[in-house]
Structure 1
Amino acid sequence: MATMLLSTHGTNGDVLPFIRIGRELAERGHEVTVLTHSWFADRIAAAGLRHLPIDTDEGYDRHLDDARRYMLDPLKDPDGVLRLYRRNGLFELLAEEVRMIEAHYRPGETVVVARHTSGIAALMAAEMHGVPVALASVTPHQYVSLPVLADLFRRVLGEGYDEVYRSFGLRPVRDWAAYLNNAPVQLVLWPEWFDAAGQRAPANAVRCGFVLGDTAEGPVPDWAEPPVLITGGTGQVLHDRFYEVAAAACQRIGRRALLVNRHPAFQPESLPDGVEWLPSAPFASFMPRVAAVVHHGGIGTLARALSSSTRQVLLAHGVDRPDNAERLDRAGVAEWLPVSHWDEERAAALLARTLADDGYHERIAPLAADAASEDGVRIAADHAEALIGADEILRRPVPRERLARLTPEQKVRLAALARARRGG
């Protein structure tokens, strides 16, 4: 039995897949602890896993509310992003997470599976103590946006990160793109067809497949006619007009809708007739029973819809959503609108066309079977287990400016060392 530490940050789409992988590892006999937001305590307990909260419920909601002002376009006010980090104590939380990993690390017996991009504490622990680390990405956008994010980390957030690194005796990071891709094992939680529909993940990353984290089930109402499901996910990084446009589109074509949103301040005070609001719903049970889902383009929502063969219309705006939407569109299994085209008439026409698409079920069948498979969970767990006992101090990649000064012979030796480290 090994100690598996799972570290992740964000909303349902970022956290629930890690809980699902943790449950698989626990069923294999490992001791599993999830380091994440306190808001997920009930979900983690229901999976039979141990939880190390990295914040409080109040702090989590405050951060979500704060982040929405910047995360849709962080480059619009980069200094505001730094103030957000300072105001919410995110650098202090990073240092505390490093200490949590250190406290639970047992040489030869511990593995950390951390969310790519935000799993900085895991990389620091690997650099200091040799903790084996696998980085798992939940959406292709984590690679697509890496050049921009790396520049943000260096130029805007650098002073805060530098303070944390120096406090642990580590030198500051200068090439964040290379550093964040430095873990020997990288898992991507989406399938090959989804990867091929846009910018691909690095060649050495393991394409596991979708991991359906939202597995909660519950009773389904006896609907006379299946409604349209409307959801903008569990976060607050959402365009102000999302729910207004989605609800109006359903009313315009005369379809009853179920609007699921735990942040009612984001929806119109008065919903159209035929649109019912719920703060939450068991999507694993609801999704196969609805006529279609109108959503924001979140990876967890689209994967659950794919697994249920549910028709999808995406009002995609910000972060990873347009990229996710483009991939589904190229595969012929969803329709979407960029925010510049959001209006009641266009959204209604798109929804009506989606509902009337006679060829949809034939196109979706092979992809639905792939999305509903448990292979992604098993593959991710297999690679986490393969790291047991693989303790080794993580060395930083050679900076690009230094690499440019190497002789051809030095580059050959460096490449050979890299291959040996990967076991290839």
Structure 2
Amino acid sequence: MPRTYLFALTDGGGTVPPEVGAARRLVERGHRARVLAEDSMAPEVRATGATFVPWPTAPNRPDRDPANDPLRDWEAPSLLAQARDLGDRLIAGPAPRYARDVLAAVDDERPDLVVTSVFAFGAMAAAQSRGIPFDVLVPNVYALPAPGRTPFGAGLKPARGPLGRVRDRAVTALSTRVFDRYTRDGLNALRADLGLAPLDRSWEQLGAARRQLVMTSPAFDLPGPLPPNARYVGPVLDDPAWADDAPWTAPPGDDPLVLVALSSTFQDQAALLRRVVAALATLPVRGVVTTGPSLDPGAVPGAPNVSVVASAPHRAVLREAALVVTHGGHGTLLKALAADVPVVVLPHGRDQGDNAVRVTLRGAGVALRRTASTDQVARAVRRVLEDPAYARRAAVLGAAVRHDAEHSTLVAELEAVEG
């Protein structure tokens, strides 16, 4: 029976294709999907066949120009400042406006299910206050604090022995206190206005979800228990709509093709991209660099064997590629692995250090600091291309990623709601 879904989404750059991909799959199944989202996401939402509705009062950037990025995490001088800005600008600060917009949409639509981005806490509380079930999309590895899981954001390897477990508990406790410091009071004030009980810990808001839908392959994630309402549903490997038909041409020749993709959002990556181009220029390879919508390709001069374009359909490029150089975003990594392509990872922050650990533990690539020199990048590229073990291990992991993408339970979970 057709159902009505209300999506409440925020623009997280690489999180957008899998999240709007969920809406597209529901529309293809004959359901009605209305998507509250930012204007920067409008073309991608409309391409799904869902109804796009811009956020009326909640944060709504017009485009992906860095000047309109509400977080601007590349400017934060410390991890503590990043946590403060995350709470003030993305979670607790705008939560009342997200709640106001979702309440109006819920009262208008009476959807069977509300589906939210992971930081849209106000949208979650609004649905909860109206007695409407809500699901949370987690288009990354599972990052929330949970006993027995490696703490998020520190790029840590799995704990070994009692000292490792003490490390994990200490890091998790510290990160939880910091997160609560900048989010809990604001979220509880909103919940009180909505007639909801207060949270002891801010992350408990996700515990009220009907489902937390973890959109990755468990073969890629590190082992560890999930909360009772969380499910691995497999990755969504869709390219963004703005890249689907983008023209691209690889430099001529038969040398190995290297795809360079550092982020679809601005992370102050131009200097690193220039060093990567300089590194590839010294090697017998062909390079294709995609800068994404937030960075002018003119900021990254190419080379005779390296072309620089704003965008290209990564799925098409990967059919020819022998290596991917990336910042370690979840979507780029899983697309590379699904194509059996090894990687060189230069994490910038966010979840990228954690993703790099998942790659290197499986032997599917190598990781460098984002401050790596031209020579260091060149050595890493040469190392991965010249040692076939990296491609073999990437293919092993890629087979599991493809299987989980092809046998995704995402739609089944979203449809398993009373309506």
The match for 2:34 is: 33
Q: How many Å apart are 1:45 and its aligned residue?
A: 1.6
Matches of 2:97 and 2:405, distance apart in 1: 33
Looking at secondary structure, tell me which structure has more helix per residue.
Answer: 1
Residue aligning to 1:111: 113
Aligned residues: 383
| Aligned-partner residue type, residue 19 of structure 1 | V
Contact 1:38 1:57 (C-alpha < 8 Å) held by counterparts: yes
**Distance in structure 1 (CA, Å) of the matches to 2:37 and 2:17:** 10
Q: 1:40 to 1:76 in 2, by over 3 A?
A: closer
CA distance in 2 between partners of 1:363 and 1:204 (Å): 32
Computing the radius of gyration from Cα coordinates, the structure with the larger value is 1
Written as runs of structure 1 = structure 2, the 5 A alignment for 1:242-253 is: 242-253=272-283
Please give the secondary structure, in 1, of the residue aligned with 2:281: helix
Identity rate of aligned residues, in percent? 25
State how far apart, in whole Å, the 1-side matches of 2:298 and 2:345 are.
17
Query: Which amino acid is the alignment partner of residue 294 of structure 1?
Result: V
Q: Aligned in 2, Cα 1:215/1:345: closer, same or farther, shift over 3 Å? A: same
Greater shift in the superposed pair: 279-288 or 331-340: 331-340
Residues 13-412 of structure 1 aligned to structure 2 (within 5 Å): 13-54=14-55, 55-58=60-63, 61-64=66-69, 66-69=71-74, 73-76=78-81, 84=89, 90-91=94-95, 93-106=97-110, 110-116=112-118, 118-140=119-141, 142-143=143-144, 144-145=151-152, 150-158=176-184, 160-170=186-196, 172-195=198-221, 197=222, 201-202=226-227, 204-214=229-239, 217-218=244-245, 221=249, 223-225=252-254, 226-238=256-268, 241-261=271-291, 262-264=293-295, 270-339=301-370, 342-373=372-403, 375=405, 378-389=408-419
Question: 2:317 & 2:279 partners in 1: Cα distance?
Answer: 20
Question: More relative contact order in 1 or in 2 (CA 8 Å, sep 6+)?
Answer: 1
Cα deviation 1:306-347 (Å, max 9, x = unaligned):
11122211111311001001101111212111346x122222
CA drift at 1:38: 1.3
- Cα distance between partner residues in 2 of 1:75 and 1:265: 30
Query: Alpha carbons of 1:57 and 1:150: their partners in 2 closer, same or farther (altered >3 Å)?
Result: farther
Deviation at 1:364, TM superposition (A): 3.1
Question: CA distance change for structure 1 residues 329 and 200 in 2, over 3 Å: closer, same or farther?
Answer: farther
Q: Is the 8 A contact 1:25 1:32 kept in 2?
A: yes
* Contact 1:115 1:135 (C-alpha < 8 Å) held by counterparts: yes
Deviations 1:48-93 (A, max 9, x none): 111122224158753427523456844146655566569x973454
Over 3 Å counting, the alpha-carbon distance change for 1:253 and 1:215 in structure 2 is: same
* TM-score of the two chains, using structure 1 as the length reference: 0.79
Aligned amino acid, residue 253 of structure 2: A
Which stretch has the larger CA shift, 53-62 or 278-287? 53-62
Distance (whole Å) between structure 2 residues aligned to residue 379 and residue 110 of structure 1: 19
Partner AA of 2:204 in structure 1: A
Which residue of 1 is the match for residue 158 of structure 2? Answer: none
Per the TM alignment, residue 10 of structure 1 is displaced from its structure 2 partner at its CA by 3.1
Distance 1:104 1:325, change over 3 A: farther
| Long gaps (5+) in structure 1 | 390-424
Deviation at 1:127, TM superposition (A): 2.6
Deviation at 1:363, TM superposition (A): 2.8
Where do 5+ consecutive residues of structure 2 fail to align?
145-150, 153-171
Change (3 A) 1:359 1:153: closer
Do the aligned partners of 1:3 and 1:30 also contact (CA within 8 Å) in 2? yes
Taking the aligned partners of 1:157 and 1:367, their CA distance within structure 2 comes to 37
- TM-score, length-normalised on structure 2? 0.79
Q: 1:372 to 1:350 in 2, by over 3 A?
A: same
Checking the alignment, whether the CA contact within 8 Å between 2:127 and 2:134 is kept in structure 1 is yes
Q: Structure 1 residue 387: deviation in Å? A: 1.7
- Over aligned residue pairs, what C-alpha RMSD do you find? 3.2
**Change beyond 3 A, Cα 1:64–1:137:** same
Once the two structures are TM-superposed, the CA of residue 386 in structure 1 deviates from its matched residue by 0.9
